[in-house]
């Protein structure tokens, strides 16, 4: 069984994906980490992010064991990820890993931007999670404060708006809801309410 969860930056899709996976005993993959890690590896190799050859090499050689690197968290890593995520060869190189991950028994939950549309168009359940940019910036701000990382609400809102624009307007696999996705607007819902609503969708 495959559950695809897509949505814009800081919409709560990662939290939801982890909770569903824990609830069902499924594997879980935050596919944003793949793009964050490719950008990290390009820079570690001293290439520029717009160097397609270096980006493709980094995507092909990506070691999934390095996805828990704390350096992949935060605003700069997310921005760099959305720059290299526009490169078609990078997306193509990461596709098979994601599809193989999705096929694992007893099931898998993948969250990202194009899971229901491109990576797993035949997913059993597709959920598209949204919230207003202001609410998403407020949540990111709380996360940053909890980790003791300096970032203003205004800067986080600006980042969310620019990343949404970049992710939605790119030519390949843009951020989009699959036609058969069920939408959850989390603007006024806390994590427990979002989880409860997803569990209702899955049990239907
Ligand atoms: O956690 P947050 O929503 O802020 O970001 P993320 O899911 O880690 O994704 C970082 C960036 O990777 C996004 O802004 C996208 O540009 C890109 N991405 C993508 O293109 N396709 C995916 N399936 C996942 C992420």
pLDDT, tens digit (0-9, with 9 covering 90-100), for 91-120: 999 999 999 999 999 999 999 999 999 999
Q: Evaluate: CB of 78 within 6 angstroms of ligand 1.
A: yes
What's the CA gap between 28 and 119, in Å, rounded?
14
Domains located in the chain, CATH noted: 2-203 (3.40.50.300)
Q: Evaluate: CB of 112 within 6 angstroms of ligand 1.
A: yes
What one-character-per-residue DSSP string does 139-167 give?
HHHHHHHHTT----HHHHHHHHHHHHHHH
Going by C-alpha positions, the residue among 138, 131, 116 that lies closest to residue 31 is 116
Q: Whose CA is nearest to atom 15 of ligand 1?
A: 82
Look up tokens 């007893």; give the residue.
106
What's the CA gap between 167 and 164, in Å, rounded?
5
Q: How far is the CA of 78 from the centre of ligand 1 (A)?
A: 7
Residue 169: the pLDDT is: 93
Q: Evaluate: CB of 9 within 6 angstroms of ligand 1.
A: yes
Its pTM stands at 0.95
Give the DSSP H/E element, type plus range, for residue 4.
Answer: strand 2-6
Per-residue pLDDT of the chain (204 residues; tens, 9 = 90+): 999 999 999 999 999 999 999 999 999 999 999 999 999 999 999 999 999 999 999 999 999 999 999 999 989 999 999 999 999 999 999 999 999 999 999 999 999 999 999 999 999 999 999 999 999 999 999 999 998 888 999 999 999 999 999 999 999 999 999 999 999 999 999 999 999 999 999 998
Residue 150: the pLDDT is: 87
What's the CA gap between 90 and 9, in Å, rounded?
20
Q: Evaluate: CB of 117 within 6 angstroms of ligand 1.
A: no
């Amino acid at each position: 069984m495959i559950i695809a969860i897509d949505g814009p930056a800081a919409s709560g899709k990662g939290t939801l994906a982890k909770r569903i996976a824990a609830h069902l005993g499924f594997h879980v993959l935050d596919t944003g980490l793949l793009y964050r890690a490719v950008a990290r590896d390009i820079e570690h190799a001293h290439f520029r992010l717009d160097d397609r050859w270096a980006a493709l090499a980094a995507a092909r050689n990506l070691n999934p064991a390095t996805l828990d690197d704390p350096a992949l968290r935060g605003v700069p890593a997310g921005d760099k990820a959305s720059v290299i995520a526009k490169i078609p060869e990078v997306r193509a190189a990461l596709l098979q890993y994601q599809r193989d991950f999705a096929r694992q028994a007893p099931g898998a939950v993948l969250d990202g931007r194009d899971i229901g549309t491109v990576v797993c168009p035949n997913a059993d359940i597709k959920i598209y999670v949204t919230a207003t940019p202001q609410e998403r910036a407020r949540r990111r701000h709380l996360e940053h404060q909890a980790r003791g990382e300096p970032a203003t609400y205004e800067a986080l809102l600006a980042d969310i708006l620019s990343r949404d624009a970049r992710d939605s307007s790119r030519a390949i696999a843009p951020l989009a809801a699959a036609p058969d996705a069920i939408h959850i607007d989390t603007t006024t819902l806390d994590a427990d309410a979002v989880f409860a609503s997803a569990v209702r969708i899955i049990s239907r």
